[in-house]
Structure 1
């Protein structure tokens, strides 16, 4: 294909992707947009699932997913505090784990790779949400077979991530919730979107009080308990909040 024809083809692909994104979010309320865009990503790309998370205080806060499998593998990363989405958030650039069954990617995240493959996922592609200076979260794409994304597919994934970023930034921020509550602006911003993960923050506070430790240590204890009991951080948090688990009695 000649360079000019190649440029035209890419232009058509971008236009088609933009049309699919626009159609996917048409009529959606703010809280529906993350989930809708996850489904659009699955339609546009050779992946089986997608999820979107904000990263707050080192904890991925899942806002939406295209399937239960995608949601579960995202929770694995949140529980471990490790995985492609953590690396993408820290580096602010795409992280493409093309084969979780062998080679370099297994060495980078050995525990996550094992748990992800047990859940039926063989490749993960994490796209940062934000700009060149700030990463606020990730769009995580999951596939049940190893393989690379083409350059055009990476561009499409980044386009979806860009739209996701704009959509999230347009959501009501802390100042629209009023002041004087003692809750941080970023936490108020998340409150309407990730109500399940409010329990993680509440449980972290309870563990802090039970053990007399700081927030980082409390979150690490919660994650360690979840991992050692083959559970997720969110499930353990619910047990803590409901007083089924106390960390000062372990």
Structure 2
């Protein structure tokens, strides 16, 4: 039997609150909506103004969902630059807390990302790895419009959210599993846009005669130089509206 509210406290209460909020947040929605709903739950439970969730694929974050257009955009900035708290958390497998992107150590660690994130209205980023002690499969990225740290309870809740989000995402049906007609598979459907990045990378490899890493770097450099996201540039390359060998 579940303990009464007045019998639960501290970390037990955090876990129960998170589980209840997640269950309520995803009730009645299809697989394709779950990542964004989980981001909404994170914003409800934590002192943040936005959240996004991404899986890592070949060193690039593939965004599955976000709580707002701002959160989605800042995640795409990190994908375009190949740099930022999200990338650092994915590489290290540990939480990365950028508590003040306006000045000091955090602004110096990711100077270009910090400038672009603050221009978009984000002043702090907390990136939580998804996965386990040995494998990081992605990140839960939390955004705030004012500088500041997470206290110990808030950090614990953020870790709990990341752990529960990992379980929830991995439990969703995959592309090869049968489903109802018209039911979009969660990963193949949500990450479809990022297929354009890989397709565009292959086209750039052929155009420039370079390896995969160099082709992706060229795509990112073009996007950064023109104030666009890597995903936007990839769409143009795939649609034959842009050739990087003509830059």
TM over 0.5: yes
Q: Which runs of 5+ in 2 are unaligned?
A: 1-5, 179-184
Gaps of 5+ in 1: 178-187
Offset at residue 231 of structure 1 (A): 0.6
Alignment of 1:108 with 2:105, yes or no, is no
Matched, 1:142 2:143: yes
Which residue number corresponds to residue 27 of structure 2? 26
Task: Look up the match of 2:55.
Answer: 54
Once the two structures are superposed, residues 172-226 of structure 1 have per-residue CA deviations (whole angstroms, 9 ceiling, x without a partner) of: 446548xxxxxxxxxx984222111111111111111111111111110000000
Task: Name the CA distance, whole Å, in 2 between partners of 1:13 and 1:172.
Answer: 28
Equivalent residue runs for 1:1-250 within 5 Å: 8-173=9-174, 176=177, 190-250=187-247
Alpha carbon RMSD of aligned pairs, Å? 1.9
**Aligned counterparts of 2:175 and 2:93: Cα–Cα separation in 1:** 24
Cα distance 1:173–1:79, how it changes in 2: closer, same or farther (>3 A)?
Answer: same
Partner of 2:190, secondary structure, is coil
Q: Shift in Å at residue 29 of structure 1?
A: 2.0
- Structure 2 contact 201–215 (Cα < 8 Å) conserved: yes
Secondary structure (helix, strand or coil) at the match of 1:127 reads: strand
Deviation at 1:13, TM superposition (A): 3.1
Equivalent residues of 1:62, 1:74 under 8 A apart: yes
Q: Which residue of 2 aligns with 1:182?
A: none
Counterpart position of 2:3? none
1:129 deviation in Å? 0.5
Between 73-82 and 29-38, the greater mean CA deviation after superposition: 29-38
SS at match of 1:100: coil
Farther off after superposition, 168-177 or 203-212: 168-177
Q: How many residues align?
A: 236
1:181 is matched with which residue? none
Query: Could you tell me whether the CA contact under 8 Å between 1:191 and 1:198 is conserved in 2?
Result: no
What TM-score results when the alignment is normalised by the length of structure 2? 0.90
